[in-house]
Amino acid sequence: MEISSDVMSTNLDNVSLPAILRSLSDPTRLEIISRLAEAGTALSCDNFNDLGKKSNLSQHYRNLRENGLVTIQRKGRHAFLELRVHALNQHFPGLLEGVISAKRASQS
The CA-based dihedral angle spanning residues 55, 95, 85, 79, taken in that order and rounded to the nearest 10 degrees? 0
What's the pTM value of the predicted model, to 2 decimals? 0.88
**Contact criterion met (CB below 8 Å) for 58 and 48:** no
Q: What is the pLDDT of residue 72?
A: 94
The angle formed by the CA atoms of residues 97, 73 and 95, to the nearest 5 degrees, is 15
Q: What is the pLDDT of residue 8?
A: 78
Q: What is the pLDDT of residue 64?
A: 96
pLDDT tens for the chain, residues 1 to 108: 333 456 677 888 888 999 999 999 999 999 999 999 999 999 999 999 999 999 999 999 999 999 999 999 998 888 999 999 999 999 999 999 999 999 888 887
Beta bridge mates, 92 = none
CA distance 36 to 82: 7
